[in-house]
Amino acid sequence: MAVEILMPALSPTMEEGTLAKWLVKAGDKVKSGQILAEIETDKATMELEAVDEGIISQLLVAAGTAGVKVNTPIAVIVEEGESLSAAPKPAAPVAAVSAPVAVAAAVPVAAPAAKGQGARVFASPLARRLALEKGVDLTGVAGSGPHGRIVKADVEGSNALAPVKTSAAPATTTAAPAKGAMPTGIMAETVMKMYADRAYTEVTLDGMRRTIAARLTEAKQTIPHFYLRREVRLDALMAFREQMNKGLESRGIKLSLNDFIIKACALALQAVPNANAVWAGDRILKLKPSDVAVAVAVDGGLFTPVLRDADSKTLSALSAEMKDLAARAKTKKLAPHEYQGGSFAISNLGMMGVENFDAVINPPHGAILAVGAGIKKPVVLKDNSIGVATVMSMTLSVDHRVIDGALGAEFLKVVVELLENPVAMLA
């Protein structure tokens, strides 16, 4: 039987993508786990795997097509021996599909969820269709496909004949704003009329810029930000860094100031565990590991790759991992799990000469640290004399729903103490 391959959701926030490249053509025989296409999301280029074997009957969406909605049919696969002409034709242009299809023929690479009541079942459309015909409850079937997916052979060999449960609960008709939808505001036509007599170039928003606009508008509208500011004297840290880099030179390692900031924040999240938290709609989640996100500027936007378990990693390990993540971020080669998650973020514009600024919290994070440039300033020394020190400004943007003022101040105090006494980061 003919089965449609759908545009998959390759990340929790993905609503549409670009079908960058087909790696198969009509008439090709494919097997489970084979890469069919490359899909560009707003953040990365990812591979689309086949879940069942068969023959590609039709490619419904051309390579290079942008704005393909999730769950839109993009190709048709038929069983071997079945007529290619028997495959269903799309009833409407793919861009006009409005209702999501209930099954997916290909799925993103992800770890399968544990089965149980309310758990998502990962299965191919052919497996779902056969299960419906046989009355098999898929929650009782072990998947043998890629990443634990249930495929045709699993259903055919299954003894789980419990009837498929259906829900009699009426579907809600309340319309909700689409996640990632463009924020409301002054209409484009109105703005264009204002500048009708001026020369300009219109720039169409790509997926990344559209997502940034939506998420940051949401962040400023829904997160009660407040700001805590501190200055750090960097002279001890700069001398310590120079000494460490001399010792690491033979290994080809060169630590940056940002590496020390990442480590200090990771350790501070352990020292002040109540600040290591995220907002989860109607509750707060307190994380145990220190997963620190770091903003990386790329063409047209930014990524926030996450350094997981940053508190337990050495400075040299953090430095190498950050360099790798930043390099792959600039070429959009990060996988979703590498830039999603974390409880805290760092945005460092000091390397670009910015002295201080206020950063916008990236939900669901509880806070973000804005780091400015180190500037030589006159300061009062311990003996009350006047001297010169390299001083760096930091601003902690805090979600007041997650972190109160005193807690945020306690966290920032630990960060400052670690940066001004860097040997403590090695203890």
pLDDT at 414: 97
| Residue 53 in this model has a pLDDT that exceeds 50 | yes
Whether 118 and 256 map to the same domain: the answer is no
pLDDT grade, residue 104 (50/70/90)? very low
Whether 151 and 236 map to the same domain: the answer is no
Q: How is residue 419 written in tokens?
A: 């940066």
pLDDT grade, residue 111 (50/70/90)? very low
CA angle 304, 307, 313 (to 5 degrees): 160
Boundary (domain end) residue, out of 101, 129, 156: 156
pLDDT at 119: 53
Weakest-pLDDT range from 117-121, 174-178, 217-221, 390-394: 174-178
Domain of residue 349: give its range.
224-426
Contact 373, 232 (CB under 8 A): no
> How far apart (Å, rounded) are the C-alpha atoms in residues 61 and 20?
10
Q: How is residue 105 written in tokens?
A: 């023929």
| Residue 360 in domain | yes
> How far apart (Å, rounded) are the C-alpha atoms in residues 78 and 75?
10
**400 catalytically annotated:** yes
Q: What is the pLDDT of residues 234-257, one digit of tens each?
A: 999 999 999 999 999 999 999 999
Contact 16, 94 (CB under 8 A): no
Q: How is residue 229 written in tokens?
A: 């500011």
Per-residue pLDDT, averaged over 166-174, amounts to 42
Residue with tokens 């579907």: 171
> How far apart (Å, rounded) are the C-alpha atoms in residues 415 and 322?
19
CATH number of the domain that residue 141 is part of: 2.40.50.100
β-sheet bridge partners, residue 426: none
Q: Of 147, 225, 337, 400, which residue is the catalytic one?
A: 400
pLDDT grade, residue 83 (50/70/90)? low
Whether 121 and 258 map to the same domain: the answer is no
- Helix, strand, coil distribution of the chain in percent, nearest 5: 30, 25, 45
Whether 147 and 287 map to the same domain: the answer is no
Whether 144 and 255 map to the same domain: the answer is no
Boundary (domain end) residue, out of 133, 156, 179: 156
Q: What is the pLDDT of residues 312-342, one digit of tens each?
A: 999 999 999 999 999 999 888 888 889 989 9
Q: What percent of the chain has pLDDT over 70?
A: 80
| Residue 156 in this model has a pLDDT that exceeds 80 | no
Nearest of 31, 101, 24, 95 to residue 58 by alpha carbon: 24
| Residue 217 in domain | no
Whether 255 and 385 map to the same domain: the answer is yes
| Residue 213 in domain | no
Q: Please count the residues of the chain.
A: 427
| Residue 208 in domain | no
Boundary (domain end) residue, out of 156, 187, 202: 156
pLDDT grade, residue 98 (50/70/90)? very low
Task: Return mean pLDDT, the chain.
Answer: 81
Whether 112 and 234 map to the same domain: the answer is no
pLDDT grade, residue 216 (50/70/90)? confident
Whether 239 and 347 map to the same domain: the answer is yes
CA angle 94, 95, 97 (to 5 degrees): 70
CATH number of the domain that residue 277 is part of: 3.30.559.10
Q: How many domains does the chain fold into?
A: 2
> How far apart (Å, rounded) are the C-alpha atoms in residues 174 and 326?
41
| Residue 165 in this model has a pLDDT that exceeds 80 | no
Whether 34 and 150 map to the same domain: the answer is yes
| Residue 260 in this model has a pLDDT that exceeds 60 | yes
Per-residue pLDDT, averaged over 42-47, amounts to 75
| Residue 204 in domain | no
| Residue 273 in domain | yes
| Residue 101 in domain | yes
Whether 381 and 241 map to the same domain: the answer is yes
Residue partners of 406: CB distance under 8 A and separation at least 6? none
Whether 140 and 249 map to the same domain: the answer is no
| Residue 202 in domain | no
> How far apart (Å, rounded) are the C-alpha atoms in residues 229 and 122?
47
> How far apart (Å, rounded) are the C-alpha atoms in residues 338 and 199?
41
Whether 332 and 248 map to the same domain: the answer is yes
| Residue 385 in this model has a pLDDT that exceeds 70 | yes
Per-residue pLDDT, averaged over 101-126, amounts to 47
